[in-house]
């Protein structure tokens, strides 16, 4: 009889523990392949928020970065939200502080603040409405004012700016991981792979998004990659995307735009850490109640739009 290898053993323990603790495992599309494979749900920030809001589980094991687990707690404060590695942050989210936002709001008092979900709970608490990459344009269009302060991702703001008539004040934040993708990478891969298409995330720089056949959130990219007739699709986003794309469409070739497009924070979560989080129900993620209630308003407004 074949004995279980170490990974199978950990997965079997995770499966036992998730039942015992009535836990749901939510994983972002950028997580390691083995983490995506054991998750109850994988998705983009919007999908993960919706799952957190609607789950009947007692425990949410959030495999992603800190602001995502915070958002889960904002929506489901009666649940125990644990992050297998709570040092997994988001450098983009760290590019805005409450103090800096309040200062900018003073300078632009007639602007509605639309904050990307990649922000801390405290920044969300000082925003009018949140958005994700899958609903940014819809959210911006939904606000009654003509002037919007969009924080903190400048590339997403510039991309949204192309399809909306609103006047958008832009914050100078960016995702360091997506910034690794340059136009030269796409041109080189397109030359090497005849008939290849290119899809990318709106966190890429404008010189890259303008080369794309499709720009969208990670979930939208999955849909596009699946229905594309091209033999090769170049992926302008984080490496974790390739796992599901290749699994769902094995007949196609998916190529990462640049091998450096790996988010080190997203890779901090491992199967071992998930098991430990389920055993100890730690590290817990919470948000101070006053901040949570204010942040909830901007998150709920977003969920009402989509």
Q: Contact positions toward ligand SF4, by CB under 6 A?
A: 30, 65, 90-92, 118, 175-178, 238, 263, 265-266
| Per-residue CA distances from 90 to 62, 69, 121, 122, 174 (Å) | 14, 12, 13, 15, 10
Q: Provide the strand spans (E) within 126-268.
A: 129-131, 147-151, 167-170, 197-200, 214-215, 232-236, 253-256
Least distance in angstroms from the C-beta of 21 to ligand SF4: 26
Whichever of 177 and 228 has its CB closer to ligand SF4, that residue is: 177
Q: What tokens appear for 205 in the block?
A: 């720089």
Whichever of 132 and 161 has its CB closer to ligand SF4, that residue is: 132
**Do the beta carbons of residue 306 and residue 140 sit within 8 Å?**
no
Whichever of 117 and 299 has its CB closer to ligand SF4, that residue is: 117
Q: What tokens appear for 27 in the block?
A: 């994983």
How far apart CA 15 and CA 207 sit, in angstroms, is 45
Least distance in angstroms from the C-beta of 73 to ligand SF4: 17
The CB density around residue 182, as the number of other CB atoms within 10 Å, is: 15
Whichever of 65 and 271 has its CB closer to ligand SF4, that residue is: 65
Whichever of 30 and 159 has its CB closer to ligand SF4, that residue is: 30
Whichever of 86 and 232 has its CB closer to ligand SF4, that residue is: 86
Least distance in angstroms from the C-beta of 144 to ligand SF4: 29
Whichever of 30 and 62 has its CB closer to ligand SF4, that residue is: 30
Least distance in angstroms from the C-beta of 196 to ligand SF4: 23
How far apart CA 220 and CA 284 sit, in angstroms, is 31
How does DSSP classify residue 77? T
3-state secondary structure of 189: helix
Helices 66-75, 45-54: axis angle to 10 degrees equals: 30
Least distance in angstroms from the C-beta of 269 to ligand SF4: 12
Least distance in angstroms from the C-beta of 13 to ligand SF4: 28
Least distance in angstroms from the C-beta of 117 to ligand SF4: 10
CB-based contacts of 138, cutoff 8 Å, min separation 6? 131, 305, 306
Closest to 189 (Cα-Cα) out of 271, 261, 139, 273: 261
């Amino acid at each position: 009889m074949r004995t279980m290898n170490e990974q199978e053993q950990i997965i079997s323990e995770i499966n036992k523990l998730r039942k015992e603790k009535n836990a749901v495992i939510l994983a972002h599309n950028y997580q390691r392949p083995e983490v995506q494979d054991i998750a109850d749900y994988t998705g983009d920030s919007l999908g993960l928020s919706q799952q957190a809001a609607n789950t009947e589980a007692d425990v949410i094991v959030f495999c992603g970065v800190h602001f995502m687990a915070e958002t889960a707690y904002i929506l489901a404060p009666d649940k125990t939200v644990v992050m297998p590695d709570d040092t997994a942050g988001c450098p983009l989210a760290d590019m805005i502080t409450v103090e800096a936002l309040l200062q900018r709001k003073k300078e632009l008092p007639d602007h509605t603040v639309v904050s990307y979900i990649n922000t801390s709970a405290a920044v969300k608490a000082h925003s009018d409405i949140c958005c994700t990459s899958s609903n940014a344009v819809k959210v911006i269009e939904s606000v009654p004012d003509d002037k919007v302060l969009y924080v903190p991702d400048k590339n997403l703001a510039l991309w949204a700016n192309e399809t909306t008539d609103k006047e958008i004040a832009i914050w100078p934040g960016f995702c360091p991981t997506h910034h690794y993708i340059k136009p030269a990478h796409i041109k080189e891969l397109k030359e090497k792979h005849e008939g290849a298409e290119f899809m990318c995330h709106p966190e890429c720089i404008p010189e890259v998004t303008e080369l794309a056949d499709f720009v969208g959130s990670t979930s939208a990219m999955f849909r596009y990659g699946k229905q594309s007739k091209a033999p090769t699709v170049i992926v302008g986003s984080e490496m974790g995307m390739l796992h599901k794309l290749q699994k769902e469409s094995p007949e196609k070739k998916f190529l990462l735009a640049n091998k450096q497009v790996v988010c080190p924070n997203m890779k901090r979560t491992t199967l071992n850490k998930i098991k430990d989080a389920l055993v100890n129900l730690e590290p817990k993620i919470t948000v101070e109640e006053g901040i949570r209630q204010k942040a909830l308003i901007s998150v709920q407004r977003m969920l009402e739009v989509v």
